[in-house]
Structure 1
Amino acid sequence: MPREARRRQLLDAAQQVFVAHGFHGASMDEIAEVAEVSKPVLYQHFPGKRELYLALLDAHMHEFSTLLQRAIDSTSDNKMRVSATIRAYYEYIARDSQAFRLIFESDLLNDGEVGGRIEEFNATFARQIADVVASDTSLPAAQALVMGRALAGMAQVSARYWVDMADEVPMEEASDLVSRLAWRGISRFPKES
């Protein structure tokens, strides 16, 4: 099997095991078993469980960051931009709620390296939103960053809650509700020429 395909296979198996048992409950033996490879093959690609977890986390955060950046860049109409950004959260969690859980519900959030990577992801996304807010309004950078954090937090928390009630509220409806709530607040800060 080509190296990249094997790596993807191992990451997929690791995700299954980490989601089922958390980092601390997962073992390299079980990951190898789920991947249907020997432990030496697993160790050829990842020196340990921590490195495997971090590689999986990084892959998911990169994919999610790309999706969020596309949403921010999708239009210059801020109402549509807010909607697209919040919808990106919902689409990502609808597509793979287990990946989302690895990012935001990890049993390693208190670990400095894991927590630091997740905080950097959150901070980067909040800065991207803040840059748009600051360039469109007269708000100082610090205030725009508070708004960026608030919008990102609103999208993240509501999407995490929604995933458990997706049968009751369709994704489009939930995303639209949160987008309208966010827009009503953000629209109070009009664009300045």
Structure 2
Amino acid sequence: MPREVRERQMMDAAVRTFGRRGYQAASMDEIAELAGVSKPLVYLYLHSKEELFTSCIRRESRALLAVVAAAVEGEGAAEERLSAGLLAFFTHTAEHPDAWAVLSRQARAQGEPFATEAERMRAEIAGYVAELIGAAAQGPCDAEGLAQALVGAAESLANWANGPAGMLPRQAAATLMSLVWAGLGSLTAHGGDLSK
């Protein structure tokens, strides 16, 4: 079997294990067994548990960023692009619950250096959102602050929607757009000044 295929199997097993059991409770034995390989092979390919966890965070961050970036790219209206980005975000987190658990809970709960890896992903998503808010406002506004608030709300809603609530991605995206677009529409109408 080619190395990249074997490594992907091990990474998939690691994401599943870390996402369901957490970093501390996960064992390299369990990851190896789930991947169908020996424990020494996991260490040979992916080194230590810490390096494996870091690799999982990076891989899953890249995957989430790629789907959000693809959804918000283009020349459409800011509202449509933001809605598409939210739908892509909620769809990805629903379809990859273990990956989302690694990014949203496990990485941050373990502190450094893992939290920094997750924060990089969050900052990139907030950057996309700030750009869209700036385009919608058509004037000065605190686009970065609003983007941070929106990203935080999206993360919380994804955690809730993927839990017992079982909200569909389209419902989650529509709920958040309903909440934020009225405020963004106010920014557009008043040239970015919410005090009017």
The two structures share one fold, judged by TM-score above 0.5: yes
CA RMSD of aligned residues (A): 1.9
Aligned-partner residue type, residue 170 of structure 1:
L
CA contact (8 A) 1:82 1:183 kept: no
Larger mean Cα displacement after TM superposition, 72-81 or 98-107: 72-81
Counterparts of residues 46-125 of structure 1 (less than 5 Å): 46-106=46-106, 108-125=108-125
| SS class of match (1:9) | helix
The match for 1:8 is 8
Give the C-alpha shift of residue 148 in structure 1.
1.1
Contact 2:54 / 2:117 at 8 angstroms: preserved in 1?
no
Aligned residue runs from structure 1 range 1-193, under 5 A: 1-106=1-106, 108-136=108-136, 137-139=138-140, 143-167=142-166, 169-190=167-188
Residues 165 and 184 (structure 1), Cα distance of their counterparts in 2 relative to 1, 3 Å cut: farther
- Please list every run of 5 or more consecutive structure 2 residues that lacks an aligned counterpart in the other structure: 192-196
Q: Offset of 1:134 from its aligned partner?
A: 2.9
Task: Quote how far apart the aligned CAs of 1:75 are.
Answer: 4.5
How many angstroms apart in 2 are the aligned matches of 1:153 and 1:107? 16
Residue 190 of structure 1 aligns to a residue in which SS?
Answer: helix
The ranges of structure 1 where at least 4 consecutive aligned residues each deviate by more than 6 angstroms after the TM superposition are none
Say how many residue pairs are matched: 189
Hey, what does 2:194 align to over in structure 1? Answer: none
State the Cα distance separating 1:73 from its structure 2 match: 1.1
CA 1:83–1:135: 2 relative to 1, 3 Å: closer
Distance 1:55 1:130 in 2: 28
Q: What is the alpha-carbon distance in structure 2 between the residues aligned to residue 25 and residue 102 of structure 1?
A: 13
For residues 86-107 of structure 1, give each alpha carbon's deviation from its aligned partner in whole angstroms, at most 9, with x where no partner exists.
1122101221111111100116
Identity %: 27
Unaligned runs of 5+ in 1: none
**Amino acid in the other structure paired with 1:11:** M
